[in-house]
């Protein structure tokens, strides 16, 4: 029983955990355009027999578009998320569904880190998994995050709604 308690305390202890989702209202206005357009196309072509567009696709194509784009895109964005976790081993992250399993940046690979504000559009061209001029970013919303510099000189920014707490947790876990 002592081994189990030791395992839970040492290896499963999280100093920080955050899960962020794409829930910005402006983004959902854009995303929900696709189901609206696909429903319009379904009714126009299938119910009224009026082909959609100058070079219309088949009825099967309209149905496929409606299922994969009209329904699939909103479902994908609803479940897409960024998970960040700090443990005794280092910084864990997962951008689901791009990363199907959690990734780890061990403390021995991190040379320095700092909580900071940034411009997602100017520095990285937006949100998601982004490549800037000097670094890579994993961000979902907002303009706050934690910049990590690795021993090899690479920089990675992790967007966080609790960037100061994330920085404190990394300091605490690293010095434990």
pLDDT digits (tens, 9 = 90+) for 1-49: 666 665 655 556 789 999 999 999 888 999 999 888 888 888 898 888 8
Strand 110-117 relative to strand 144-150, pairing: antiparallel
pLDDT digits (tens, 9 = 90+) for 158-168: 999 999 999 99
CA distance 147 to 123: 13
pLDDT score of 133:
78
Phi, psi of 107 (to 5 degrees): -55, -35
Instruction: Confirm if 173 and 88 have CB atoms less than 8 A apart.
Output: yes
pLDDT score of 2:
66
Phi, psi of 170 (to 5 degrees): -65, -45
């Amino acid at each position: 029983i002592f081994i189990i308690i030791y395992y839970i305390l040492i290896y499963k202890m999280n100093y920080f955990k955050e899960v962020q989702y794409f829930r910005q209202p402006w983004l959902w206005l854009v995303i929900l355009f696709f189901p609206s357009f696909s429903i319009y196309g379904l009714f126009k072509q299938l119910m009224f027999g009026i082909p959609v567009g100058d070079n219309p696709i088949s009825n099967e194509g309209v149905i496929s578009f409606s299922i994969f784009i009209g329904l699939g895109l909103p479902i994908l964005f609803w479940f897409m998320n960024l998970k960040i976790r700090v443990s005794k081993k280092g910084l864990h992250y997962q951008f689901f569904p791009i990363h199907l399993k959690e990734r780890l940046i061990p403390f021995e690979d991190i040379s320095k880190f700092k909580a900071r504000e940034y411009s997602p559009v100017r520095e990285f061209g937006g949100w998601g998994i982004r490549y800037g001029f000097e670094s890579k970013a994993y961000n979902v919303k907002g303009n706050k995050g934690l910049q990590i510099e690795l021993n090899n000189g690479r920089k990675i920014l992790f967007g966080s709604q609790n960037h100061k707490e994330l920085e404190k947790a990394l300091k605490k876990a690293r010095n434990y």
